[in-house]
């Protein structure tokens, strides 16, 4: 898909020159409010929000973020009005079809986490095809959190551990964090370094509950449909200006006693 060459802004040049978060998660909030403020149906906010998805994905890929996870549809979103849920599923199908060429042409690997089996077939089919066709891409991992909930993820992981213990495959006295992490939907992805939430809300909302243990949090008042390149770059810049101590003191960090996980 041909598009105009994007010239980097001074902020983008600055961000690219400094250490980036390996894995950014985004809680894309404010689509409904954006539409209501304009007297439009809520679905139009979601439609405009898909433009932000495209632009933020392009920017993340361009600056060198390794993994981007977008909270697209939560386990709790199924309880929304049936008309809105149906509209969201149709928008997701449209996104998967319209962005297919861009994802493949830019070396992006598409991934999905959550109870994906609950998605309607007309969404699952293009999702699974694009995941399979992009499986060997190495440019960036774009993960869509679909029918996703952090509690649900942890519960499934705990059940898997319990089943392995019951079969005698694991000794419960020697279970470690790695045993649980290997059973999370995010297994194989880089550690989450930064979580962004739009629309002024300051909640995690059941998103990546285990993974955000040491993540930096960035909250912005921008509604998701208004969250574009410059706002995303400001969040990356804010992350780059923070000191990540992982439970240590600044003095310890200055003596290069940072734990391996902080250096990774």
Say whether pLDDT at 239 is over 50.
yes
Q: Is 197 annotated as a binding residue?
A: yes
pLDDT at position 4: 60
Give CA–CA dist 203/197, Å, rounded.
8
Q: Quote the Cα angle for 16-14-212, to 5°.
A: 60
Q: Mean pLDDT, to the nearest integer, of 231-242? A: 97
pLDDT at position 2: 54
pLDDT at position 109: 98
pLDDT digits (tens, 9 = 90+) for 53-62: 999 999 999 9
What's the whole-model pTM score? 0.91
Is 29 an active-site residue?
yes
Per DSSP, the chain holds a count of helices (H) and strands (E) of: 11, 6
Q: Is 33 annotated as a binding residue?
A: yes
Residues above pLDDT 90, as percent of the chain: 89
Q: Is 30 annotated as a binding residue?
A: yes
More confident residue, 92 or 3: 92
Strand pairing category for 140-148 and 216-219: unpaired
Q: Mean pLDDT, to the nearest integer, of 67-90? A: 96
Q: Is 29 annotated as a binding residue?
A: yes
With CA atoms as reference, report the closest residue to 197 among 75, 25, 13, 65: 25
What phi, psi does 158 have (nearest 5°)? Answer: -65, -40
Q: Where are the alpha helices (DSSP H) in the chain?
A: 10-16, 31-37, 42-63, 82-98, 100-105, 121-133, 150-166, 177-181, 229-240, 250-254, 260-263
Confidence of residue 110 (pLDDT cuts 50, 70, 90): very high
Q: Mean pLDDT, to the nearest integer, of 234-260? A: 74
* Integer CA distances (angstroms), 235 to 197, 206, 219, in order: 10, 21, 8
pLDDT digits (tens, 9 = 90+) for 21-44: 999 999 999 999 999 999 999 999
Catalytic site residue from 77, 137, 179, 206: 77
Please say whether the beta carbons of 216 and 244 come within 8 A: yes
Q: Is 31 annotated as a binding residue?
A: yes
pLDDT at position 250: 63
More confident residue, 5 or 63: 63
Catalytic site residue from 29, 106, 111, 193: 29
pLDDT at position 243: 83
pLDDT at position 251: 65
pLDDT digits (tens, 9 = 90+) for 146-181: 999 999 999 999 999 999 999 999 999 999 999 999
Residue carrying the six token digits 């996870």: 69
Is 77 an active-site residue?
yes
Q: At what angle do helices 121-133 and 82-98 cross, to 10 degrees?
A: 30
Q: Mean pLDDT, to the nearest integer, of 79-97? A: 96
Q: Is 204 annotated as a binding residue?
A: yes
Q: Is 203 annotated as a binding residue?
A: yes
Give CA–CA dist 10/6, Å, rounded.
13
């Amino acid at each position: 898909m041909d598009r105009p060459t994007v010239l980097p802004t001074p902020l983008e040049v600055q961000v690219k020159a400094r250490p980036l978060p390996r894995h950014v998660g985004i809680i894309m909030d404010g689509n409904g409010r954006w539409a209501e403020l304009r007297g439009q149906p809520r679905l139009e906010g979601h439609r405009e929000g898909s433009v932000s998805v495209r632009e933020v994905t392009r920017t993340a890929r361009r600056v060198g973020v390794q993994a981007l996870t977008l909270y697209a549809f939560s386990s709790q979103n199924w309880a929304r009005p049936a008309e809105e849920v149906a509209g969201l599923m149709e928008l997701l199908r449209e996104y998967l079809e319209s962005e297919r060429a861009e994802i493949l042409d830019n070396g992006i690997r598409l991934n999905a986490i959550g109870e994906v089996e609950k998605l309607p077939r007309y969404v699952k089919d293009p999702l699974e095809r694009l995941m399979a066709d992009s499986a060997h891409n190495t440019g960036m991992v774009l993960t869509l959190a679909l029918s996703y909930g952090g509690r649900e993820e942890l519960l499934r992981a705990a059940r898997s551990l319990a089943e392995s213990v019951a079969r005698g495959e694991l000794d419960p006295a020697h279970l470690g964090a790695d045993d649980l992490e290997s059973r999370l939907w995010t297994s194989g992805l880089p550690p989450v370094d930064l979580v962004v939430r739009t629309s002024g809300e300051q909640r995690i909302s059941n998103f990546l509950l285990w993974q955000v243990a040491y993540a930096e949090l960035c909250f912005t008042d921008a509604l998701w449909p208004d969250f574009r390149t410059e706002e995303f770059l400001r969040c990356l810049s804010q992350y780059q200006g923070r000191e990540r101590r992982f439970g240590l003191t600044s003095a310890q960090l200055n003596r290069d006693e940072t734990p391996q996980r902080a250096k990774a």
